[in-house]
Amino acid sequence: MPILAADKELSVYENMAARFDVAAAKLGLDEGLQKVLRSPNKEITLYIPVAMDNGKLEVFVGYRVQHSIVRGPAKGGIRFAPDVTLDEVRALASWMTWKCAVVNLPFGGAKGGVICDPQKLSRRELEAITRRYTAELLDFLGPERDVPAPDLGTNEQVMAWVMDTYSMHVRHTTTAVVTGKPLDLGGSRGRREATGRGCLIVTDRALQKLGRRRDEQRVIIQGFGNVGSVAAKLLHESGYKIVGVADIHGGIYNPKGIDVPRLLDHVLENGKLAGFPGCDRVAPQEILTRDCDILIPAAIENQLTSHNADRIKAKVIIEAANGPTTALADDILAEKKVFVVPDILANAGGVTVSYFEWVQDRQGYFWSEAMVNERLEEMMVASFDDVCGYAERHAVSPRIAAYMLAIDRVAFALKLRGLYA
Ligand code: GLU
C-alpha cells in the first residue's frame, strides 16, 4: 500500500528497522553488531530483457537481496508484482533472517522481486522472465548459497523453471536450489498448505493461552491467495467461524458464518470472491475493521496503520502476511490490549516446510504428509512457547520478543564465527 508523503507512517524497511532497533536496545546488543545486523549482506539489481509475444523487447527490473548468511544459506521467496520496490525486498529479506531464526532453522534470509504484473503476462513471457532472472543470479544461488521459494505472484511452476534453469547450467538436476516446487520435481508434501497450517497452529496455541474456545471465535481473513484461502479452509474445518474474507477486488461479510468449502468452489469457478451469495459486500480495506474476534491479515505489508488501528475490533491478530502492521499501529494495538502473533512467528510455517523440502531433496528421501505436518506442529508450538516465554521474562510484546530471540540467535552465531576481514 503506498505511503502518503505527508504521512507519519514509515516505509516497509523502516518499519522492520524500527522494531529491530527496539529489540536490539532491549538486548543491550553491541553497537557494532547492531550496525552489521541491521543492514543487508548483498543487494543485486537486475535488468531483464525479454522478447514479448507482440514482438517488442521489454526490460524488467528485478532484485535479490541477501540479508544474512550467518546461520546458513540465504532463504526466501521471489515476488512478482507491479509495485515491488527495493525498500520492500530489503525489508522482506531481513524478515526472512529473523523468521528463520525464530523457528531455529539453519538458514539466513533473502528475498527477490521482479517488477511485473503476472496477470498481464503470457506463460511464455513469465517463463522467459524467470529463466533470465535465474541465469543472471547463477553465481549467487545454490543449495548451499541462496534458496528461493514462492511468494506473491509466483507459484510451483515458476519454481520448476528456476530449478530447471539452474540445473541446466550446473549440468545436473539440483532440486534443492529452490523450494515450493511441484511434488513430482522434489517438492514436499504439505508445502502448499504449510503457511496456512502454521497459522492454524499458532491460533490454536494463542487461544489456549488466553483460555478461549475455538467455536466461540469469529474470524476475518484479509487476502485469499495461497495463504488466506488455506487458512480459511483449515480454520473452518477446525471449528472456527469465518465471518469475513477479502481479496484485492473486495470483501464479503456474514456474521452468521461463511460456508468456506462452497466459497472455495465459487473462487475456483469465478476467480474472485465477488458474487458469492448471502453476504454483505465490503471494500477490501473495510474488512479489517469489521466486527470479529480474530483478524488474520494475509495479504501485503502496511495494512494495519495509524489510520485504522484504533477501529480494529479483533482482540487477537494473527499476522499471516509479512509486515501487515506498521510500527505506529503496534502502539495503538498495544494500548487496546490486542494480542498480536507477529509475522515472523505466525507465517513461519511456509519456510519451515521449505526447510523440510530442502532436507528431503538433499537426502533423496521423501516424507509422508503426516510426518511433515507433525514436525511442523512440533516446531511451531515450540517457537510460539519460546516467544511467549521471552515476552513474559522481558516484559515486552510478542513481536519485540520474537525479534529479540531472533537477533540474539543470529548475533550469537556471528560472534562465534567472527568477522572475516
Ligand atoms: N515467501 C514465504 C515467506 O515469506 C516462504 C519463504 C520460503 O519458503 O523460503 O515466508
Length of the chain as a residue count: 421
Q: Above 60 in pLDDT, residue 312?
A: yes
**Res 421 pLDDT > 90:** no
Q: Kindly list the protein residues whose Cβ atom lies closer than 6 A to any atom of ligand 1.
A: 75-77, 149, 151, 179, 322, 347, 350-351, 354
Strand partners, 251: 246, 282
pLDDT digits (tens, 9 = 90+) for 48-58: 999 999 999 99
| The architecture CATH gives domain 194-346 | 3-Layer(aba) Sandwich (3.40)
Instruction: Report the residue among 97, 154, 195 best suited for mutation to probe ligand 1: largest number of ligand atoms under 8 A from its CB.
Output: 195
Domain boundaries, the chain: 42-176, 194-346
pLDDT of residue 2: 52
Relative orientation angle of helices 369-394 and 398-417, to the nearest 10 degrees: 100
Mean pLDDT of 25-49: 97
**Which residue CA neighbors atom 9 of ligand 1 most closely?**
76
Question: Which homologous superfamily does the CATH classification assign to the domain defined by 42-176?
Answer: Leucine Dehydrogenase, chain A, domain 1 (3.40.50.10860)
- How would you classify residue 40: left for phi > 0, otherwise alpha for psi between -120 and 50, otherwise beta? beta
What are the two backbone dihedrals, phi and then psi, of residue 217, each rounded to the nearest 5 degrees?
-100, 125
- pLDDT tens, position by position, 129-167: 999 999 999 999 999 999 999 999 999 999 999 999 999
Q: How many CB atoms lie within 10 A of CB 110?
A: 33
- pLDDT class for 6, splitting at 50, 70, 90? low
Q: Indicate if the pLDDT at residue 7 is higher than 80.
A: no
At 355, the amino acid letter reads Y
Pairing status of strand 109-115 against strand 57-68: antiparallel
282: DSSP letter = E
Classify the phi-psi angles of 331: left when phi > 0, otherwise alpha if psi is within -120 to 50, otherwise beta. alpha
Tell me whether the CATH fold assigned to 42-176 matches the one assigned to 194-346: yes
Atom of ligand 1 nearest to the CA of 147: 9
pLDDT in tens, 155-203: 999 999 999 999 999 999 999 999 999 999 999 999 999 999 999 999 9
Q: Which residues contact 50 (CB under 8 A, 6 or more apart)?
A: 57, 58, 59, 60, 125, 128, 129, 132
Read off the DSSP letter of residue 309.
G
Active site annotation includes 111: yes
Q: What separation in Å is there between the alpha carbon of 392 and the centre of ligand 1?
A: 28
Here the cell at position 111 is 528475498
pTM: 0.97
